[in-house]
Amino acid sequence: MNEIVSIEIIRYLITIIADRIRVMNIVIIGYGKMGKAVEQLARSRGHIISGIIDRHLMSSERALILKQGDVAIEFSNPESAFQNISEAITEEIPVISGTTGWTDHLNEITSLVQKKNGAFLYASNFSLGVNILFAINERLARIMNHHTQYDVSMVESHHIHKKDAPSGTALTLAEQIIENLDRKKEWNLSPAQDDTLHINSIRAGEVFGMHEVRYTSDIDRLSIAHEAFSRNGFALGAVLAAEWLYGRHGVYSMKDMLGL
């Protein structure tokens, strides 16, 4: 009798542990450096990579692979991201996307998610540190709105392979500043009028990502910055986002996931 009870307890505990881990079948869309980093991090957390979708696959092959997944993590390129995300949502697969340079189609994706009762989480940057930077940047812009002696500018640096400029992270920072700083109306890659936020975009070497916001007056400078040392922070954030999104419905951001 005691042995039967012990076996039942063990089975119960295994069920609880499995539920907490919630092993997922993950489809990776885009198998570049970020896709490979996501694969490694996902496996290290016990998840199964059920399929990989790259640009060489036909539509029918892509659909079959998507059907095998619980969630898709998409890091591709600005030209194919919208199609990739749309296909996954159409197949009723929750999607995590970190591709930048395509978000002029974000409203269309939002409508598709609502139509399919799907789930989608987009972030211009999945790094925990960057998302903390976003929270600080927003608060700092509100404070500096009252200190007009400071002009604000931004510099961002990435590897030479990055196609979009400025980066999606820089655009998020810029949008936060413009929303909270009355004296800035738009951003520009070239120094321009006083009401324009200048973003200096640098593409050199193999830099993983550096973003700095600078407030400069005649007597001093105040700055906030983040620098990534590897892709692992981005990959881990994406996998954590997938774990969080699974079972939810709607359109989310890292701010929702992190409670920021």
| Percentage helix, strand, coil for the chain under 3-state DSSP, each rounded to 5 | 45, 20, 35
**Residues contacting 123, CB < 8 A, separation 6+:** 97, 98, 131, 237, 238, 241, 253, 254
* Eight-state DSSP code of residue 109: H
Phi/psi class of residue 259: alpha, beta or left (left: φ > 0; alpha: ψ in -120 to 50)? left
Which strands, in side-by-side order, build the sheet including 210-216? 186-188, 196-203, 151-158, 210-216, 221-227
Residue 189, token pair as written in the block? 């890659």
255 is an active site residue: no
Catalytic-role residue among 33, 36, 116, 162: 162
Written as one string, the DSSP assignment of 123-145 is: -S---HHHHHHHHHHHHHHHHHT
158 is an active site residue: yes
For tokens 């975009």, the residue is: 201
Q: Is 89 helix (H, G, I), strand (E, B) or coil?
A: helix
Catalytic-role residue among 158, 184, 211, 226: 158
- CA 204 to each of CA 170, 217, 250: distance values in angstroms, whole numbers, following the listed order: 16, 29, 38
Residues labelled as active-site residues: 158, 162
